[in-house]
Amino acid sequence: MMIIKQMKDPQNLDYLSGQAILVDKPVNWTSFDVVARIRRLTKVKKVGHAGTLDPLATGLLIVCTGKKTKEISSYQEQRKKYTGIITLGKSSPSMDLATEISEKPLPDNLTEENILSVINKFLGNIEQVPPMFSAIKHKGKALYKLARAGKVVEREPRQVEIYSFEITKIDLPDLHFEIACSKGTYIRVIANDFGNELGCGGVLSLLRRTEIGDYKVDDAFDLNEFSSMFKVEKIE
């Protein structure tokens, strides 16, 4: 993969077609927002991304342009690594901070040993029920649109694989974690289910994708850095 570090010729952007660009997606941007920004900057009509990040998440997004979009599926299939925070004692319809939060007291006997013992239930091949607040289609309509209308439909569980899951810091009610997983894994669902296993619920309060296969967010552009090569104003 070519990592573009400077503009070759601001008057000739043809070389930007057929590239895979590593972007560090900012918070409160959708993955489509990033694609639209790259399309406008590069003036390449065909642009896509290899794996959606929720608006509240940050981190590595691989954006493909031109003929490189044919390789999107190969990037999507690669394992992902995330860091983040599960906040216990809370729940929400979206399983993160995007929707209304309900609170529940933490168990009196909640210990580090109890917390760490739950991890094994989330390792290896596991089944997840996709959240209603997701882009999965039901009869041609995205589930999140149905959820916003107050509708709930039955979802079939899907098998995903969790290669590693580590609690890196316990600062109750927050659990800091690092997870490596397969394509299609909903970290929000892990946060929700992990909290339910402890009897108090949980939401995903922070998420950052750090790796896709061998590609790392440390090698990615933030949008200000990328935009600066085109002499445009910084993002909000």
**Which residues are known to be catalytic?**
54
What is the DSSP-derived secondary structure letter of residue 67?
G
Whether the CB-CB separation of 51 and 17 falls below 8 Å is answered with no
Q: What's the rounded Cα separation, in Å, for the pair 233 and 48?
A: 23
Q: How many CB atoms sit inside 10 A of residue 108's CB? A: 5
> What is the enclosing helix (H) or strand (E) of 205?
strand 202-212
Residue 225 CB contacts under 8 Å (≥ 6 apart), including other chains:
none
Radius of gyration (C-alpha) of the chain in whole angstroms? 19
Q: What is the DSSP string of 189-230?
A: HHHHHHHHHTTS-EEEEEEEEEEETTEEGGGPEEHHHHHHTT
> What is the enclosing helix (H) or strand (E) of 88?
strand 80-88
**Residue type for position 38:** I
Q: What's the rounded Cα separation, in Å, for the pair 175 and 130?
A: 22
φ and ψ of 30, to 5 deg: -80, 160
